[in-house]
Structure 1
């Protein structure tokens, strides 16, 4: 193997390690470090609904939101696509008003659950260290989750009800998008299921997609969001054996 090819291979390996591993901790210091002062992070406010409007509550154990991000750049073949998921959606739905509002925390997201990777048709298998590195880079370098911990979505039905107009607030930026949605309601009005998918761009929310080596290895700007949400009457959520957990 020529010297040039050896250096090229070494550069590729270094790039892969840089993309999929956490940042190295800073060198230890002997100087005393003051204890951080915890800053409470408020839960986004729930919508103000007319008195008497029936409200259903999202059941997190029956709901799922996933975001698929894909690799890009000339060295994309050395990286992995990723599936990020929230199992902790919380919020309310007012079916008669055609309105819903829900949110989830970024630091509660999972990365690359095996079953979700298979469902998304992803064929590579990242290691546990690579997954941990991806999650660290996502929360710290890309999303600044300490500063912007919540994703908030407010939606309302439009037209014939199969299209939702959703205001998505991410990274401190709010964008309005149209979301084709399938909605199924129980005859007694005590249960609602909604599902849909859409494409978003990270840059639309002021986010710079992760990249190294001048973009030779990068995450594509476009991401695929899909959701399956179940909302039920509050008495159903609190019934014995329902598996529901108290709100945060």
Structure 2
């Protein structure tokens, strides 16, 4: 992309999270996970006072299980490590190490911007739309978005165990949040 813009990466004021659910007859045994993506980069290209393009790339092997709700037992270190390992296998991280989103169009909305583009996961690309909310925080802008991604749309079979009695829900919620100082 050309022009000036912002670069966002994982930091205390920029985060990219995945939220999973659990289903099946034994779902009470499983945890609803919050997974942080710790290595990602989003380049936002600007023209005048508005964004005109976004190019995001995330490294699949940078996922870190940070929280788990539910389950029979608390989600502790060893269980987090196992959940991460299972997710990496599900995503085939060695074969498909990157996830990307690139906009074709950025439209202004009442509360921010609609990002229309292509999402690539697991070597499969699909059209995808993300609604980005922009909030005036005084000295800075607060940016946030949530989007639902269906794993099976990208050739991923959601993780399951106990012969399918407990499995990860096909829809994963992706959450983005950032804060940036206002431009001069």
Sort the TM-score into its range (normalised by shorter chain).
Answer: 0.7 to 0.9
Answering whether residue 53 of structure 2 is matched by residue 103 of structure 1, we say no
Q: Distance in 2 between matches of 1:130 and 1:186?
A: 38
Q: How does 1:40-79 map to 2 (within 5 A)?
A: 48-49=1-2, 53-61=3-11, 62-79=13-30
Q: Choose the corresponding residue for 2:93, options 129, 145, 148.
A: 145
Runs of at least 5 residues in structure 1 that lack an aligned partner in the other structure: 1-47, 234-248
User: Cα deviation per residue 1:136-177 (whole Å; 9 max; x = unaligned)?
Assistant: 11102x000001111111134125353221321110011222
Choose between structure 1 and 2: higher helix proportion.
1
Aligned match of 1:222: 171
Aligned match of 1:178: 129
Aligned-residue Cα RMSD (Å) equals 2.6
User: Cα deviation per residue 1:114-144 (whole Å; 9 max; x = unaligned)?
Assistant: 4xx5xxxx3552122211111111102x000
Equivalent residue of 1:126, what SS? coil
Q: Pick closer, same or farther for the CA change 1:231–1:211 going to 2, 3 Å.
A: same
Whose Rg is larger? 1
Q: Distance in 2 between matches of 1:108 and 1:206?
A: 20
Q: What TM-score comes out, normalization by structure 1 length?
A: 0.62
Comparing 65-74 and 207-216, the one that deviates more: 207-216
Answering whether residue 34 of structure 2 is matched by residue 80 of structure 1, we say no
CA contact (8 A) 1:59 1:230 kept: no
Q: Distance in 2 between matches of 1:79 and 1:137?
A: 13
Q: How does 1:1-248 map to 2 (within 5 A)?
A: 48-49=1-2, 53-61=3-11, 62-96=13-47, 97-111=51-65, 113-114=66-67, 122-124=69-71, 125-140=74-89, 142-155=90-103, 156-160=105-109, 162-183=113-134, 193-230=142-179
**Displaced runs of 4 or more, over 3 A:** 184-187, 229-233
Q: Pick closer, same or farther for the CA change 1:171–1:230 going to 2, 3 Å.
A: farther
Q: Pick closer, same or farther for the CA change 1:59–1:215 going to 2, 3 Å.
A: closer
CA contact (8 A) 2:21 2:172 kept: yes
CA contact (8 A) 2:28 2:70 kept: no
Q: Distance in 2 between matches of 1:174 and 1:101?
A: 14
Q: Pick closer, same or farther for the CA change 1:184–1:88 going to 2, 3 Å.
A: farther
